[in-house]
Structure 1
Amino acid sequence: MFSEKIRKIEFDVSSGAIQVALNALDLLRSFSETSKSETCKDFVENFSEFGRALFLTRPSMASVQNLVAQIVFEVNHLEEVNLIEVRRFVTSRIEEISNQSVNAVRKSAEWAANLINNSDNIATCSHSSTICRTFELAKEQGKIFKVMVAESRTADGKFRYGCVLANFLESLKIPVEVFLDRKIYRYVPKTNCVLVGADSVLVDGSIINGSPTYGVAVEAEDSGVPFYSVCETSKVNTLSYLGKNVEAKKGFDLVPSNLITGVVSEKGILPTSALIEVMEEKSKFYKSFNIECC
């Protein structure tokens, strides 16, 4: 039963990174509630093993790794309690972490919405729940703007992330136009700024996000158009901080920091030094998976 649900997490192409992370936490909660373990020791071992399996599903999605590693770490460091209390802790703590993540999305979007002005043309690509919320908030603030979206077609051509975003914007009556990936570049110079999400923010300030983010970033740089990545601090890639090699999988782009005007988080626009501090704080969670600095 759980192996199939893990596969759904691994191959989910329709959800944004934070939703995938929340789904992973929900699966951990379900595992806790149905576990057959009869002792705390067995429960913690089985919970940690299941957490590791989830941790490995989405190497490009830092939020999945960070949130899963956090709850596994906290369960492993509980003071002596009985099994009932451990299960209760898992349920309540996962709910708390999930709520914090949702609030972080909202706050990040609030900061990003401030970058949008009346009559702006905004370019974006791929699909991000944080970007969706950003445009929604800007609309609620009474701003009138247009969004130009790259269709963001997957490598196999079966899914178009940009169209998911465009459908959402149309439901809000926000003017939107979808372009073929190879044609979006010519329209970037006509925009006021580029707003994209991120699946990961690496230790050097670069980001990993769905294609064609790199091409859009290059065109923005060449045209003098500000390029912002909007994402919660749960998307910092702690593995990169720990010296591990992190690569963009097929269908994803690595965008170097010199092409990025700023990373907009729930804490505002953060410099690389502040992002590294967040990674350092989260690195302790990875010890439960025996992952430490090289």
Structure 2
Amino acid sequence: MDLFTIVTARADYEQGALVIIDQTQLPGREVYLALKTSEEIWEAIYLLKVRGAPAIGVAAAYGVAVCMQKVAATGFDDFYREFSRVKDYLASSRPTAVNLFTALERLNRALLKHQGVGVEILKQVLREEAEAIRKEDAEACRKIGEHGLSLLKPGMGLLTHCNAGHLAVSEYGTALAPIYLGQEQGFGFSVFVDETRPLLQGARLTAFELQKAGVNVTLICDNMASSVMKQGWVQAVLVGCDRVAANGDTANKIGTSGVAVLAKYYGIPFYVLGPTSTIDMDCPTGKEIKIEERDPAEVTEKWYDRRMAPEGIHVYNPAFDVTPAELITAIITEKGIAYFPFNDTFREWKKNK
């Protein structure tokens, strides 16, 4: 299977479905799901069958567009009322990744600009806006990769956490985009991949992606990062992001902040890569980012033949943590590279949309 033939999410309007690759089945099985109702789409996002902040945004946009094609409405008000219901429902599936809300709000704005047109044109507006979101994400990932690669040298050892690759976006990825571009240009990177608890996106998805792309990749447990850094095997850390606050504090998969602390101690650059859509200027600092907590079973029994923790044990299972801005060497987007302090650069990027 060629990695880049995998399509994370697409709309099949003839079938009336959002089609996704079920990432919970990887790497063992390549299974595509045709989701035809808002309930099925909500569940797929919540259960991480589709995941990665940009991919969630694309899937939600396609999902709304698909669901609204079936709506029989007599005019704008009826159509918009049902659109709002579906939009708000899907927005409740995951609280942390800002791309979900950004994509849904784009659809909302697009509809409000066309209040005087017929229902069939409104459906077309949603289809076109959803496709624009996917196309812009793909273009942004390529540019992120180019900017990120400019900071790296051939032969470097790199470390990444969670999955911010092709499966998390439309194409290439965010944190993995420089690795893929470097692979194409013969940079010969060696990449260490944290397994990433509790859902093992590093072990199941990033290791799978990089191996498929022919990258020299080594899987490690999360608590081994310090060891490989101490031995001098890592010259840069590349991670993605689910939400970046206005001051540069960054929410990413749980464990990312620990990697940042280690990188700071060992003097290793720590780079965050993501589209500007992930920067939330309405969120002043990381303290305001809502952190999703997930089912304790993901820690106690999900990955085992039999339960590995005592019955009734209290479990704290946050999906994300927040890395303070001062631990981040640079934040890399499609618009360029920002260095601490990040506020002024972020404002300039957002002003020049």
Distance 1:67 1:147, change over 3 A: same
After superposition, what is the alpha-carbon deviation per residue over 1:124-147, rounded to whole angstroms, capped at 9, x for unaligned?
Answer: 111112223321111001111101
Partner of residue 138, structure 2: 102
Partner AA of 1:11 in structure 2: L
Contact 1:153 1:181 in 2 (8 A): yes
Distance 1:247 1:40, change over 3 A: closer
- Aligned-partner Cα distance in 1 for 2:251–2:281: 13
- Aligned-partner Cα distance in 1 for 2:324–2:286: 17
- Aligned-partner Cα distance in 2 for 1:242–1:180: 30
After superposition, what is the alpha-carbon deviation per residue over 1:162-189, rounded to whole angstroms, capped at 9, x for unaligned?
Answer: 1111121111221111111111122234
Structure 2: which 5+ residue stretches go unaligned?
1-36, 166-173, 293-317
Partner of residue 4, structure 2: none
Partner AA of 2:266 in structure 1: S
Superposition misfits of 4+ residues, deviation over 3 angstroms:
241-244, 276-282
Partner of residue 82, structure 2: 46
Q: Does 2:259 align with 1:188? A: no
Partner of residue 332, structure 2: 264
- Aligned-partner Cα distance in 1 for 2:287–2:81: 25
Contact 1:22 1:98 in 2 (8 A): yes
- Aligned-partner Cα distance in 1 for 2:271–2:348: 20
Structure 1: which 5+ residue stretches go unaligned?
283-294
After superposition, what is the alpha-carbon deviation per residue over 1:11-53, rounded to whole angstroms, capped at 9, x for unaligned?
Answer: 2156322111111111011022111222111101211221122
Q: Does 2:249 align with 1:178? A: no
Please, what is the CA RMSD of the aligned residues?
Answer: 2.2
Q: Which moves more between the two structures, 129-138 or 23-32?
A: 129-138
Distance 1:184 1:116, change over 3 A: same
Partner of residue 276, structure 2: 233
Distance 1:253 1:52, change over 3 A: same
- Aligned-partner Cα distance in 1 for 2:78–2:92: 21
Contact 2:98 2:280 in 1 (8 A): yes
- Aligned-partner Cα distance in 2 for 1:210–1:81: 42
- Aligned-partner Cα distance in 2 for 1:56–1:239: 19
Contact 1:66 1:238 in 2 (8 A): no
Contact 1:188 1:216 in 2 (8 A): no
Q: CA deviation at 1:225?
A: 0.8
Distance 1:34 1:238, change over 3 A: farther
After superposition, what is the alpha-carbon deviation per residue over 1:65-112, rounded to whole angstroms, capped at 9, x for unaligned?
Answer: 111111112212325212222111111122112211111112111211
Q: CA deviation at 1:218?
A: 0.2
Map residues 60-75 of structure 1 onto 2, 5 A cutoff.
60-75=96-111
Distance 1:134 1:14, change over 3 A: farther
- Aligned-partner Cα distance in 2 for 1:39–1:277: 40
Partner AA of 1:221 in structure 2: K
Q: CA deviation at 1:244?
A: 9.1
Distance 1:196 1:50, change over 3 A: same
Contact 1:241 1:280 in 2 (8 A): no
Contact 1:10 1:57 in 2 (8 A): yes
Instruction: Provide the TM-score with structure 2 as the length reference.
Output: 0.74
1:88 to 110, 124, 137: 124
Q: CA deviation at 1:193?
A: 0.9
Identity across the alignment (%): 25
Q: Does 2:254 align with 1:211? A: yes
Instruction: Provide the TM-score with structure 1 as the length reference.
Output: 0.88
Q: CA deviation at 1:266?
A: 0.2
| Relative contact order higher in (CA < 8 Å, ≥ 6 apart) | 1
- Aligned-partner Cα distance in 1 for 2:89–2:344: 31
Q: Does 2:179 align with 1:139? A: no
| Equivalent pairs, count | 278
Q: Does 2:193 align with 1:149? A: yes
- Aligned-partner Cα distance in 1 for 2:250–2:346: 12
Contact 2:179 2:189 in 1 (8 A): no
Distance 1:238 1:44, change over 3 A: farther
Partner of residue 346, structure 2: 275
After superposition, what is the alpha-carbon deviation per residue over 1:256-294, rounded to whole angstroms, capped at 9, x for unaligned?
Answer: 000001110000113332324556799xxxxxxxxxxxx
Partner of residue 112, structure 2: 76
